[in-house]
Structure 1
Amino acid sequence: MRYPISTRLLLADDDPNILTAYVLFFASHGYDIRTAGDGAGALEEYRAWLPAVVVLDIQMPSMDGWAVAREIRHQQSDPFPVLVAISALSSPSEQAESIKSGFDHHFVKPADLRVVLAAIAHHSHTP
């Protein structure tokens, strides 16, 4: 299944191996990708590029994914980006904190990226 070509997707994770795997997967589905290795870098890249989709780890240096999501939701963007957490945090309270922080979805590592892709497509703002 192919998804809209040139949809901007920002990926942020402090594990370079996971980040590489995500890039390979999402690029193969036509996404235009930029990456960040920490929360502050993710927020900086978001502000400079305004991607339609942002996939964040929660536990990252400099700024956690929850703080990044809250900052993104406070931006005056139209349309708002789809925010997806992919994290090792798995308790119901941690997942609830993700939704409270502004994420549309919280997936637990190791996430099935096909399911993540389907969730993103469901929220896609592109025709």
Structure 2
Amino acid sequence: MEPMHRIRVLLVDDEPHILQFLELGLQNEGFEVHTASNGASAIVEAISFEPHVIVLDVMMPGMDGLAVCKQLKEENRDVAIIMLTAKDEIEDRVKGLMIGADDYMVKPFSFEELLARIQARLRNQFPSLLGEIRLGPFTIDDRKTEIVYHGEALELSPTEYKLLKLLVTKHGSVMSKSNILNIVWDYDFGGEDNIVEVYIRSLREKLGDKEHRVIRTLRGAGYRVDLP
């Protein structure tokens, strides 16, 4: 698995052995992990640590997980919360999801399943943290240096990858040839600016963009990608 040093996970459970087991496992996977053993400390830790994902036990003395989930989601709707419970009851799951939980797991569970659910939440809510950006029909994956268009991976040279990534991430904005040269070929490029036209033509062929509807040419200005 790729290192995930930027991804923060908060574990909240009143059972020390569970916290220790999950903390060690997630740290070994490359996550930055903090723990809390009760609801009140979970609130404090979430404010200071700003986790991307919270694995939150429901059944805790004092402030239970449902109350913690409700408060945290009111303060930060973006945080992904996976609820843990020993109860296998539909009512509990529904209540947790209704107050904002993003996923639900019933104890006992395997570490592999929890890891898969954490990764699913990250792909859904924080794709850029995994080196993956989804923009319209494009998926840009810096880990693989790969761009997928309408579900098909494009065969791109390193320079084509940099150029298409630039145009897609700057979608809606016109990129002049000089800007493209400065960013893709860097400021030391001493060739002719028609190299940009050559690469744009190649990208259009690989995108099946015969009518130039994906990469548009604005005469005298440059190129622009418009996404739905």
Q: Same fold (TM over 0.5)?
A: yes
Contact 1:39 1:63 (C-alpha < 8 Å) held by counterparts: yes
Contact 1:89 1:95 (C-alpha < 8 Å) held by counterparts: no
1:122 to 111, 117, 120: 120
**Cα 1:86/1:2, change in 2 over 3 Å:** farther
TM-score (normalizing by structure 2): 0.52
Contact 1:57 1:85 (C-alpha < 8 Å) held by counterparts: yes
Q: Percent identity?
A: 30
**Partner residue of 2:53?**
53
**Partner residue of 1:97?**
95
User: Whose relative contact order is higher, 1 or 2, with alpha carbons under 8 Å and at least 6 apart?
Assistant: 1
Any unmatched runs of 5+ in structure 2?
A: 132-228
Aligned AA for 1:72? L
TM-score (normalizing by structure 1): 0.91
The question of 1:9 aligning with 2:9 is answered yes
How big is each residue's C-alpha offset from its partner over 1:75-123, in whole Å with a ceiling of 9 and x where there is no partner?
1x37x11100111021011111111121111100111221121111122
Deviation of 1:3 (Å): 5.2
The CA RMSD measured in Å over matched residues stands at 1.4
Aligned AA for 1:123? R
Following superposition of structure 1 onto structure 2, how do residues 28-43 of structure 1 map, counting pairs within 5 Å? Answer: 28-43=28-43
Runs ≥4 residues deviating over 3 A: none
Q: Tell me the matched-pair count.
A: 125
CA distance in 2, matches of 1:50, 1:36: 13
How big is each residue's C-alpha offset from its partner over 1:56-84, in whole Å with a ceiling of 9 and x where there is no partner?
10011221111111111101x37x11100
CA distance in 2, matches of 1:46, 1:53: 10
